[in-house]
């Protein structure tokens, strides 16, 4: 199969007359035939599938490089080294989505069903969320906890897979300054990952705040985002511990709002306010978020483009689980535009009292309010089914 693909690449190269040795990163030429990645049946990522079906895209981009120095091979390396990954491609900077546009467009459409000429929209006004008093009462009864998170990136600075040490530290400095200036309920403390005490680290672990460490199983270690770990990384949380920010993990920033119970409007309002306050601080320093009308908010992984938002609740569904089982419940949630995960992730059993993590499925093409509303409507339907049994 690989030989057939390589021959196809060679023929395409001849047709396009690209064999004249153009310069790539570092001034060297990459031969698209001899340098084509080895992909096996174990390579399950979308990026691997795209390359197998469209080897011409490797020919087109293998000698392309963004102005910050991020190459096409950098973009696809995660899916080659970690065959189990779902997407298998990342961006090293905002420019990656334009420099490797035809490839990225296929990946984005394959993952989201979002076409190259589609336009994204934004709405982070919590007042536009619809939740009746009756629904709120039921949510308080059945929802254990609520959590909303989304990534944001700073325009003009490379994303974690493509950054150098100075740029990563610049991101940390900007975000730390903005976060520590917050007042009122948002006021809190920033913990540099490499500078916290043992007691502080243990407290963050106990609170389940500490983000994942690089491992062969996660995209972090395989896309180049884990270089120099833990330099330039950190965590911020407010005094009440219902607002949290990860700095320089997979994205420049992951903003997380959470609390016990089912007050989704309150959680979303806090998240929205935090995103806005950090943006104000960035603009005061001459920076802004990466955003455009097609991709929405630009993040490292194509799966998080658009809103980058995941709104979820831990929902008690003991009767529905007993009656339907995991598979049927997951299928039904899918038909509602939401995703059901068990206590240990996708396709796993629920918690001891039949708890499932229910979240929005889509990320791009819908506004933040629309996605939260989809989750609310889906949870409302699930609660009614639970009560009917």
CATH number at residue 239: 3.30.590.10
**End-of-domain residue from the set 61, 86, 112:** 112
Q: Do the annotations mark residue 17 as ligand-binding?
A: no
Predicted confidence (pLDDT) per residue in 34-57, tens digit: 999 999 999 999 999 999 999 999
User: How many CB atoms are closer than 10 A to CB 334?
Assistant: 12
Is there a domain that residue 265 lies in? Answer: yes
Is there a domain that residue 190 lies in? Answer: yes
Residues 99 and 161 in one domain: no
Tally of structural domains, the chain: 2
Residues 58 and 140 in one domain: no
Predicted confidence (pLDDT) per residue in 97-117, tens digit: 999 999 999 999 999 999 999
Is there a domain that residue 117 lies in? Answer: no
Is there a domain that residue 119 lies in? Answer: no
Residues 95 and 217 in one domain: no
**End-of-domain residue from the set 82, 112, 142:** 112
Is there a domain that residue 74 lies in? Answer: yes
Starting from the edge strand earliest in sequence, which strands make up the sheet with 253-260, in order? 188-192, 234-238, 243-247, 253-260, 143-152, 310-316, 355-360, 338-341
**End-of-domain residue from the set 85, 112, 139:** 112
Is there a domain that residue 120 lies in? Answer: no
Q: Do the annotations mark residue 181 as ligand-binding?
A: no
Q: Do the annotations mark residue 254 as ligand-binding?
A: yes
Is there a domain that residue 252 lies in? Answer: yes
Domain limits at 182?
Answer: 126-388
Is there a domain that residue 118 lies in? Answer: no
Residues 280 and 316 in one domain: yes
Q: Do the annotations mark residue 327 as ligand-binding?
A: no
Q: Which of 356, 366, 347 is nearest to 150 (CA)?
A: 366
Residues 88 and 145 in one domain: no
Q: Do the annotations mark residue 310 as ligand-binding?
A: yes
Residues 86 and 140 in one domain: no
Residues 168 and 33 in one domain: no
Residues 75 and 132 in one domain: no
Q: Do the annotations mark residue 199 as ligand-binding?
A: no
Q: Do the annotations mark residue 314 as ligand-binding?
A: yes
For the residues of 236-259, what is the DSSP string, one character each? EEETTSSEEEEESSSSSEEEEEEE
Residues 249 and 280 in one domain: yes
Residues 250 and 359 in one domain: yes
Domain with residue 44: its CATH number is: 1.10.135.10
Q: Do the annotations mark residue 217 as ligand-binding?
A: no
CB-based contacts of 356-359 (< 8 A; 24+ apart in sequence):
356/314, 356/315, 356/317, 356/321, 356/329, 357/312, 357/313, 357/314, 357/315, 358/312, 358/313, 358/315, 358/333, 358/382, 359/310, 359/311, 359/312, 359/313
Q: Do the annotations mark residue 313 as ligand-binding?
A: yes
Residues 358 and 246 in one domain: yes
Q: Do the annotations mark residue 346 as ligand-binding?
A: yes
Q: Do the annotations mark residue 152 as ligand-binding?
A: no
Written as tens digits, the pLDDT of the chain (389 aa) is: 666 666 665 665 555 544 434 445 455 788 998 999 999 999 999 999 999 999 999 999 999 999 999 999 999 999 999 999 999 999 999 999 999 999 999 999 999 999 999 999 999 999 999 999 999 999 999 999 999 999 999 999 999 999 999 999 999 999 999 999 999 999 999 999 888 888 887 888 777 777 777 877 778 888 899 999 999 999 999 999 999 999 999 999 999 999 999 999 999 999 999 999 999 999 999 999 999 999 999 999 999 999 999 999 999 999 999 999 999 999 999 999 999 998 777 767 888 889 999 999 999 999 999 999 999 999 999 999 999 99
Residues 207 and 75 in one domain: no
């Amino acid at each position: 199969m690989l030989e057939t693909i390589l021959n196809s690449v060679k023929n395409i190269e001849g047709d396009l007359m690209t064999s004249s040795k153009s310069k790539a990163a570092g001034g060297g030429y990459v031969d698209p035939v001899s340098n084509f990645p080895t992909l096996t049946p174990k390579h399950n990522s979308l990026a691997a599938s795209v390359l197998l079906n469209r080897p011409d895209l490797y020919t087109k981009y293998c000698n392309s490089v963004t102005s910050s120095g991020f190459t096409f091979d950098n973009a696809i390396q995660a899916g080659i080294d970690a065959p189990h990954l779902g997407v298998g491609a990342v961006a090293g900077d905002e420019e990656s989505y334009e420099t490797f546009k035809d490839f990225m467009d296929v990946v984005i459409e394959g993952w989201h069903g979002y076409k190259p000429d589609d336009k994204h929209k934004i709405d982070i006004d919590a007042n536009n969320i619809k939740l009746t008093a009756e629904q709120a009462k039921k949510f308080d009864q059945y929802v254990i906890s609520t959590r909303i998170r989304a990534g944001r990136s700073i325009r003009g600075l490379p994303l974690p897979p493509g950054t150098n040490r100075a740029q990563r530290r610049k991101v940390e400095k900007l975000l730390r300054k903005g976060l520590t200036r917050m007042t009122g309920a948002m006021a809190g403390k920033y913990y540099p990952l490499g500078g916290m005490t043992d007691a502080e680290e243990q407290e963050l672990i106990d609170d389940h705040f500490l983000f994942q460490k690089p491992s062969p199983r996660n995209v972090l270690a395989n896309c180049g985002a884990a270089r120099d770990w833990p330099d330039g990384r950190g965590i911020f949380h407010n005094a009440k511990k219902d607002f949290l920010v990860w700095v320089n993990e997979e994205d420049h920033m992951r903003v997380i709002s959470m609390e016990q119970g089912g007050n989704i409007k309150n959680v979303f309002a806090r998240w929205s306010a935090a995103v806005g306050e950090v943006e104000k601080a960035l603009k005061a320093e001459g920076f802004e978020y990466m955003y455009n009308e097609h991709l929405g908010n630009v993040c490292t992984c194509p799966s998080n483009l658009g809103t980058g938002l995941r709104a979820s609740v831990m929902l008690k569904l003991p009767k529905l689980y007993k009656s339907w089982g995991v598979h049927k419940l997951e299928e039904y949630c899918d038909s509602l535009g939401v995703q059901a995960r068990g206590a240990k992730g996708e396709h796993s059993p629920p918690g001891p009292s039949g708890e499932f993590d229910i979240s929005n499925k889509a990320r791009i093409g819908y506004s933040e309010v629309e996605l939260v509303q989809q989750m609310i409507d889906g949870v409302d339907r699930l609660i009614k089914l639970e009560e009917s049994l």
